[in-house]
Structure 1
Amino acid sequence: MKRTTLSLIAGTAALAAVTGFAALETPDASGAPTARAAAQLPVERTRLLCPAPSSSDIAETSYTSFTPVTKGTASGGKAELRSATEESADGTSGSTKGKDKAKTAKPVLIPKQPGTPATGDTSGADSPALIGAADGRFAPGWTVQETTEVAAGTGRGLQGVNCTAPDTEFWFPGASTDAERTDYVHLTNPDDAPAVVDIELYGKDGAIKSTVGEGITVQPHSSEPVLLSTLSDQRQTNLTVHVSVRSGRVAAAVQALDDKIGGDWLAASADPAGTLVLPGIPKDATAVRLIAFTPGDADADLKIRLASPGGLITPAGNETLHVKSGMTSALDLGDVTRGEAGSLVLTPTDRSVPVVAALRVTRGKGDKQETAFIPATGPVGTRATSADNRGKGTTLSVTAPTAAARVKVTASAGSGGGTPVTKTFSIKAGTTQDVDVPVPAGLKGTYALTVEPLSGGPVYAARTLAATAEGVPGFTVQTLPDDRGTVAVPEADQDLSVLQK
């Protein structure tokens, strides 16, 4: 047998291994193979990146990891979260930079089993960026949250961010270079080769000219915080940050810190779209600011509606927002929720133009104010998870902007003990509901909340975590898009004719 024929057979076998199996299809009456839908199978490997949490010496940071139990996974697998500089070339523990493995720092956390949260913590200003890897039964839907408490100073309050997978493009409406703001964009590279990144800033008058943000190199297994005010000498209250990767891939998040009203992480907005949903505005918000940007060549005109517990309403005096092409627009909505749960729904007034958007939300008054951010997000989809929840201070908001829906919410066992609890909720069309969050019986430690739509239209969700310290209402909001725990795997057909070519 010729070597080329052997290679082709080996290639066919490898393809069968990747896709699960190779199926020999029987042609239908027309002679064409019968098409079958791709199977939804659990992902086998997940990587998550967590930015360096704080530059404050008094910062206290906790990490919570959770993997929902997923049918169809193998019995094996593992997960761990460790310093970016300790990540090995294949994503396993140990270092590839010549260090003795025995001297490698311990992982921040190692989950023991799916269905139960695992926690770890760090403190001070030297806490590094982290890289996590999960495979086998720990990979599908793996979620990690980083939560930091800072008692005083710039950005004091509660700061939270979901650790994210690397990508090549990010949009952050809601950043600032105001004199009272200190905003960093954190870039974390999980790979063995350098990543080259461009950072562009867009203000109220358009692109801000600067060459400083071009060609930023992020070394392998490292994280680079870039202070936005060093990219331009212009001071602007509302900015949109665009991160694009020329080579490689990174995870990106903006840390937005204010001298007077606290701060939080600003996660990337959902991809530019004509219709956007920004879920989970706290009902006691005292000020809400909408920041929007359109990257295309056309202006966008957006209809603004609030999905309240009673239905969709139009905020008086703030019915629409005109977003000029390439320029950042902002609109102060005040206390738009008026003491009720709410989510913002943006739709085109006429033609659809892709837009990115985020909300800056303020709670409290005077010197007791604290801020958080809510970016536009995707729907829950099949399943979404919030990893870090406490016995007190957790609020889960669920929105059904177009059609009524039923959702199942499961509270996991606690990280230190407790029994899972599940509740089902009906959400009326056009409404937002702060649901009666289930809490594990006998809870010890923190727990996870998993949201799964059962029927009806698309739902969007966000979780608010609140903790008051010294009279300041610290809080952070994380949206809950689909956890992408499964992937469509097409069936492979045997085509023996390739062996004859």
Structure 2
Amino acid sequence: MSRLAVVTAAVPVLAICAALLADADVQVEPVDRAPSEVPLARTDLVCPTGSEAGGVFIASDAGEAGEVQAVAGGRASEPRTVEVSPDRRVDLDDATRVSGVGALARGLVVQRWSTPGLRAVDCPATSSDQWFTGVGAGAEHTSVLELHNPDTGPATATITVLGQSGPVGAGGRLRGVSVAGGATVRLDLGSEIPKREELALHVTTERGRLAATVIDAFVPIGRGETTKEYLSGQREPATSQLLLGLPDGVDDPEVVVANTSDSASRVSLRLVTAEATFTPTELEEVLVDPASVRRFSITKLLRSDVAEGVLGIEVVSSQPATASFRGRVRGDLLSIVPAGPVTEATLVPVAHPGARLVLGGAETLGTVEVVSYDGRGREVGSKVVEIGPEAAVEVKVPGRAALLRVEPQDTSVEGALVLTNADGAAVVGLRELLREGLVPDVRPGLR
């Protein structure tokens, strides 16, 4: 074949290839695509281990009566069918996991409470990422991390630990932790990573589904009683975090902050009241090292005149961080963590009379309707409060209330239910109810 023939034949082929490549360039889409929202088909809410003196509350905002399944104990426990109906709280002696399917999967809420002292916590759903700030692994301050797998297949998690001196090595003991189907693994941090300093945990689910909870404990050396509290998780670090619901008469108040970034962070504290959110003039910014934890004692601040009427604390940082508040009320251990914004109606059971609801974190001016129901599902109170940015609102809960329905209008809010009695205090954050599931957007792609 002559050279002219070879060139003549090659030109159309090159033109066709160029056209195909040009079309490919036009049609290629980004690999990362947002998942689609679909009606939730199943919800599994997991409670931490409770004591004999305590129980579990269940409520549903699905708008219809139905059945959910409750499991107490280990893998061999048989599920129990529980009837739920709108606006009514169901009380159980115990439950490790509560599952709703179909219509009852949407709007399910479960709360664990127990004694001695006063402990209460919202039972979380499974999550691929959770942070727990202010845990301990020493002789006096120790924490237990519980990992529960609601499915039949195995799941694995890796726990990263930050300390006051930086990242904490665990020698591989907290990497690839396996949890069998239907089982709960309890990790005593004092045994796994003995260390006398404030810690933060990052729990990442690598396979399957896991729900993580923490039981925090202070064990006095010598005389004195051990005090325990449930420590809720935080979904993700942020540069602004609200710790709402400070009870009166808190002893030894502290704020623990974990800088989760690889850069030093400037951290300041602001007080939240019904009138404003402000930084006291005597407080200065504090530098927190990268990937490390710092504890702030705020006893002097909360006892000063400037803290009169304080309803919460805002933690502001130049880098993403996590935070928690810790103190004691009548000797009972108390923990508060950021609960995150609520944009739609949510429910919160009320464990004891004399509670109050604290709302804040509004993005714009709006209102919040708070409706109270007694143990039989009868309305015993209703109130609409106005709320705006840079301030908080306190709502007294009727003494007969067993369940609250909180619905924001025209704004998102954050909130916390403050429980107090002769034994101590507990704070339960409001959470957005699960109503939608996420389905990954999977499409054919070029390789």
TM-based fold match above 0.5: yes
- Code of the residue aligned with 2:406 in structure 1: it is V
**Which residue is equivalent to 1:235?**
196
Q: Percent identity?
A: 23
Which letter does structure 2 place at the counterpart of 1:360? R
Aligned counterpart, 1:463: 417
Question: Could you tell me how far 1:282 is from its partner in structure 2?
Answer: 1.6
Distance 1:244 1:116 in 2: 35
1:476 is aligned to 426
Residue 293 of structure 1 deviates from its aligned partner by 1.2
Aligned to 2:71: 82
Amino acid at match of 1:415: G
Q: How much does 1:186 deviate? A: 0.8
Note the alpha carbon deviations across 1:293-313, whole angstroms, 9 max, x for none.
Answer: 122211221332111122112
Is the contact made by 1:67 and 1:138 (CA closer than 8 Å) also made in structure 2? yes
Determine the C-alpha separation between the residues in 1 that align with 2:148 and 2:243: 26
| Structure 1 equivalent of residue 292 of structure 2 | 327
Task: Give the distance between the partners of 2:179 and 2:97, measured in 1 at CA.
Answer: 15
Alpha-carbon distance change, 41 to 419 in structure 1, aligned in 2, over 3 angstroms:
farther
* CA distance in structure 2 between the partners assigned to 1:48 and 1:249 by the alignment: 12
CA drift of 1:339 comes to 5.1
After the TM superposition, which of the residue ranges 45-54 and 218-227 deviates more from structure 2?
Answer: 45-54
- Alignment equivalent of 2:315, drawn from 346, 360, 374: 346
Among candidates 71, 84, 87, match of residue 112 of structure 1: 84
Contact persistence 1:146–1:163 (CA under 8 A): yes
The answer for the alignment partner of 2:339 in structure 1 is: 377
Distance 1:359-1:377 versus aligned 2 partners, 3 A rule: same
2:59 and 2:84 in contact (8 A); partners too: no
Partner of 1:359: 325
Q: TM-score, with normalisation over the residues of structure 1?
A: 0.73
Q: CA deviation at 1:418?
A: 3.5
Pairwise CA distance, 1:332: 1.0
Aligned to 1:51: 48
Please tell me whether Structure 1 or Structure 2 has the larger radius of gyration of its CA atoms: 2
Equivalent residues in 2 for 1:220-369, closer than 5 Å: 220-236=181-197, 238-259=198-219, 260=225, 262-334=227-299, 336-337=301-302, 338=307, 340-348=309-317, 352-364=318-330, 369=331
Structure 1 segment 400-419 matched on structure 2, within 5 A = 400=361, 403-412=364-373, 414-416=374-376, 418-419=378-379
Aligned positions, number? 397
Q: Map of 1:64-213 to 2, 5 A cutoff?
A: 64-70=57-63, 77-83=66-72, 85=74, 105=78, 107=80, 110-122=82-94, 130-150=96-116, 157-211=117-171, 212-213=173-174
Q: Matches of residues 441-456 of structure 1 in structure 2 within 5 Å?
A: 443=400, 447-455=402-410
Whichever residue aligns with residue 264 of structure 1, its letter is E
Amino acid of the structure 2 residue aligned with 1:327: S
Check whether the contact 1:410–1:438 (CA below 8 A) recurs between aligned residues: no
Contact 2:214–2:232 under 8 Å retained in 1: yes
* Cα separation, 2, equivalents of 1:315 and 1:322: 17
Query: How big is the shift at 1:409?
Result: 0.7
After TM superposition, the score normalised by the length of structure 2 is: 0.81
The alpha carbon displacement at 1:169 in A equals 1.9
Task: Name the CA distance, whole Å, in 2 between partners of 1:162 and 1:105.
Answer: 23
Cα offset for 1:116? 1.0
Residue 251 of structure 1: how far off its partner (Å): 0.7
Q: Deviations over 1:117-139 (max 9, x none)?
A: 111114xxxxxx61211123422
Structure 1 segments unaligned to the other structure (5+ residues):
1-37, 87-94, 96-103, 123-128, 151-156, 491-501
Q: 8 Å contact 2:371–2:379 — kept in the other structure? A: no
**Secondary structure at 1:230's aligned position in 2?**
helix
Contact 2:86–2:377, Cα closer than 8 Å, also in 1: no
Cα deviations by residue, 1:222-275 (Å, 9 ceiling, x for unpaired): 111110011223222x11112122222211111001135722111112311222
Query: Secondary structure at 2:104's aligned position in 1?
Result: coil
Kept in 2: contact 1:113–1:138 (CA 8 A): no
Give the residue type in structure 1 aligned to 2:395: V
Distance 1:112 1:204, change over 3 A: closer
CA deviation map 1:109-161 (0-9, x unaligned)? 71331221111114xxxxxx6121112342222100010112xxxxxx12222
Distance 1:82 1:285 in 2: 36
Q: CA deviation at 1:428?
A: 4.3
Gaps of 5+ in 2: 1-34, 220-224, 441-447
C-alpha distance in structure 2 between counterparts of 1:120 and 1:201, whole Å: 35
Listed as ranges, the matches of 1:387-406 within 5 Å are: 387-390=349-352, 392-400=353-361, 403-406=364-367
CA contact (8 A) 2:48 2:215 kept: no
Contact (CA 8 Å) 2:366, 2:408: kept in 1 or not?
yes
Match of 2:180 in 1: 219
* 1:209 Cα deviation after fit: 1.7
